Amino acid sequence: MPRPASHLIVHNSTLKIERFAYEVVLEGVPLDIYLDLEASRLTNPNIDFDNLFEKLIAEFQMFLKQMSITGCEQTTLVILDSSNTKKFSKHVIIRMLESVFANNYICGALMRNFHLHLLRRYGEPDKNMFYVHPEEAAVKQKAKKCLLDFAV
């Protein structure tokens, strides 16, 4: 998504409590990479989501370096947090100094590779720290789901 410098100046100089932002993904328009993280706190009461979030971001940044993505050493994270007592929910826009992605399909391909990376590095879902129990309605299935929402 295009990001004029004036937007960043306004964004960074506004108090966090006064910031209002949302994701806009337009077809065929270059955009920054983004992560959508969702989990139920009710079905995962023993997970420290703040700590898990930090680990996931560190893992993603390491993955970008391994993939030789230009500019990944200098990133700015824009974190949109809509978490509450029942749900952990963060949307993270990762702005790299030199890289934007051609379109959402390219971002999706990178995220599918990251998902495979998490499975290879941390194991199958039942033992993988980045997999969580689904919301209560789906608990009957007992299969864990990735903290990252790939349906965006």
Query: 3-state DSSP call for residue 87?
Result: strand
Q: Which is more confidently placed, 106 or 125?
A: 125
Q: What is the mean pLDDT of residues 14-43?
A: 71
Cβ(88)–Cβ(49) below 8 Å? yes
Question: Measuring CA to CA, which residue among 76, 92, 119, 78 is closest to residue 38?
Answer: 92
pTM of the model: 0.76
| Nearest residue to 132 (alpha-carbon basis) of 51, 33, 50, 52 | 52
Q: Across-strand partners of 78?
A: 93
Distance CA 62, CA 136 (A): 33
Tell me which long-range contacts 120-124 makes (C-beta under 8 A, separation of at least 24): 121/59
pLDDT tens by residue, 81-122:
999 999 999 999 888 776 677 777 888 888 899 999 999 999
Residue ranges of alpha helices (H) inside 14-99 are: 49-66
Average pLDDT over residues 18-37: 66
pLDDT, tens digit (0-9, with 9 covering 90-100), for 42-51 = 999 999 999 9
Q: Which residue has the higher pLDDT, 140 or 53?
A: 53
> Which pLDDT belongs to residue 17?
57
